Amino acid sequence: MSDHSLTAAQVADFKRDGYVVARSFFDQEQMDHLHRIAKAGFDIENSYAAIDPEGKSSRLLLRNDLPEDIYSAFVRSERMVDSVELLLGDEAYHFHHKLMLKEPRVGGAWPWHQDYGYWYDKNSCLFPTMLSAMIAVDKASIDNGCLQVLKGSHLCGRLDHFPTGGQLGADPERVDHLKDRLELVNLELDPGDTAFFDCNLLHASQANTSERARWTLICCFNAKSNDPFDDRGEHPGYSYLERWPDSRIAELGTTQWSAMAGGNV
């Protein structure tokens, strides 16, 4: 077990609230590697835009595989995998990961939704034993569209989801009633802070109205016991997730940056 994995108290908070924020889960050096590689190497040609009802867009770059790169080093890091398995109570495997961009002034909103609302329809997973770990690459605040959650909403179970703009949103009537009963929390994060949230937690974000970007790396995991019953989904079924030492972040960060800079670093 990694010395940096979540504590028993944090696991209890997650089960009660549907989320937990681990402050400085990744340190400054690790985040420096991720920040410079992500900002310099974002592949816009292979990303796609998620259009909100106002016509603004956020861009996502999603991968189902784990190549030898900085993103895989975060997904596979001991502190990450150990923490996820504590939360799921099962062996975890990589479902997918995505770099999400909300650019200044143009980054769009996301409606209230549950990740399982998406994954249930598009993948053949029978149980909501799935979660996401969102790593702040930039500082996330209310003005640049930080994540909002309804505390404890994971306990209401999966809601129906409907198209809204170019996205899917949870049943708005039920969301409105839940907002009357549950606390809405803005998850303001510094780079390296990591928010773990249950796949049935209702979450949303507002548009980025600031002059600062809000980028995040979201690592999504499924439990081994929840392996999809067929292969029609857009994300992979179970395969063993090899843990890498946390030190691989710096090693791969240095190697990848040198390759990107043509060896002139």
Identity of the amino acid at 3: D
State the DSSP H helix or E strand holding residue 254, giving kind and residue range, or none if neither.
Answer: helix 248-260
CB distance 203 to 111 below 8 Å: no
Q: What single-letter DSSP state applies at residue 158?
A: P
Give the Cα separation of 100 and 88 in Å (integer).
24
Give the Cα separation of 145 and 101 in Å (integer).
11
| Dihedral sign of CA atoms 157, 94, 246, 89 in order | positive
Q: What single-letter DSSP state applies at residue 182?
A: S
pLDDT score of 165: 79
CATH of the domain spanning 8-225, picked from 3.30.450.40, 3.30.110.70, 2.60.120.620, 3.20.20.70: 2.60.120.620
pLDDT score of 261: 82
Give the Cα separation of 215 and 135 in Å (integer).
9
Give the Cα separation of 118 and 160 in Å (integer).
10
pLDDT score of 263: 57
pLDDT score of 164: 85
Within a 13 Å sphere around the CA of 210, how many CA atoms are in the beta-carbon half?
Answer: 15
Specify which residues 218 forms β-bridges with.
Answer: 98, 134
pLDDT score of 239: 97
pLDDT score of 113: 97
pLDDT score of 6: 98
pLDDT score of 71: 98
Give the Cα separation of 179 and 185 in Å (integer).
11
Per-domain residue ranges of the chain? 8-225
Q: What single-letter DSSP state applies at residue 43?
A: -
Rounded to 5 degrees, what angle do the CA atoms 18, 24, 28 make? 145
Query: Mean pLDDT for each 10-residue chunk of the chain (265 residues)?
Result: 90 98 98 97 86 90 97 98 98 98 94 94 93 98 98 97 88 97 98 98 97 97 96 93 98 96 63
The torsion of the CA quartet 136, 201, 228, 75, rounded to 10 degrees, works out to 20
